[in-house]
Amino acid sequence: MAQPEAPDGVAPAPGLAELFTGFLKIGLMGFGGVGPIARYVIVTERRWLDDRDYARLLGVCQALPGANTVNAAVMIGDRYRGAAGALTCVVALMAAPLLCLVALATLYDAVADKAWAQVALTGAAASAAGLITGTAARLLTRAELAIWGWVVAGAAFLSVGVFRQPLLTTLLVLIPVAVAAAILTARRR
């Protein structure tokens, strides 16, 4: 199977071992959500995608059912190594967190009624929210969105974040709007 040629600034197609270690690292470091570390490993460290391609991939992953990073693991693994790559990436992404979750759940059960445990969880939640916000800001500033892209992103934020509308409803409205805007923009060129 011929591998896709790497664009400028993007590393050559990774092998199964490199995909495994990359997604294993994402799974191990992604406490509180893997979004920020996934972007760092995939774009900055491994250079499998550039920021623009990562933002596009994440947009597709958002519209699919399931966890965004699991969807990204499947898509990146498949892109570079087919079905074996997709399976490798998902197993690597999920293995360590699953083992850690079982161990931490057992530990938490023993200390759940302690006040210091509740304070620690509150601090961890605040840190996770900050990481997600920082990653979103970085993606928006580097994705080179057209004006209509900013409008759609703002509308999505307002709909879900401010007006508390369901994500599915928001997507069902905004995806056709974004597609129409992209088609109109392409026709004007």
User: CA-CA distances (angstroms) from residue 107 to 23, 80, 103, 112, 138?
Assistant: 26, 39, 6, 9, 35
Q: Kindly tell me if the per-residue pLDDT of 109 is higher than 80.
A: yes
pLDDT band at 186 (very low <50, low <70, confident <90, very high): confident
How confident is the model at residue 86, as a pLDDT?
97
pLDDT tens for 2-42 read: 445 555 667 889 999 999 999 999 998 876 678 889 999 99
Average pLDDT, the chain: 89
How confident is the model at residue 137, as a pLDDT?
86
Q: Please state, in angstroms and rounded to a whole number, the distance separating the CA atoms of residues 114 and 108.
A: 10
How confident is the model at residue 2, as a pLDDT?
46
How confident is the model at residue 32, as a pLDDT?
65
Q: Is the dihedral of CA 30, 121, 160, 67 positive or negative?
A: positive
Q: Is the dihedral of CA 87, 89, 93, 95 positive or negative?
A: positive
Q: Among 109-123, 129-143, 158-172, which stretch is predicted with the lowest mean pLDDT?
A: 129-143
pLDDT tens for 156-176 read: 999 999 999 999 999 999 999
Dihedral in degrees, nearest 10, Cα atoms 73, 77, 78, 80: 140
Q: Among 84-93, 131-140, 156-165, which stretch is predicted with the lowest mean pLDDT?
A: 131-140
Q: Please state, in angstroms and rounded to a whole number, the distance separating the CA atoms of residues 102 and 143.
A: 37
Is the model's pTM score more than 0.85?
Answer: no
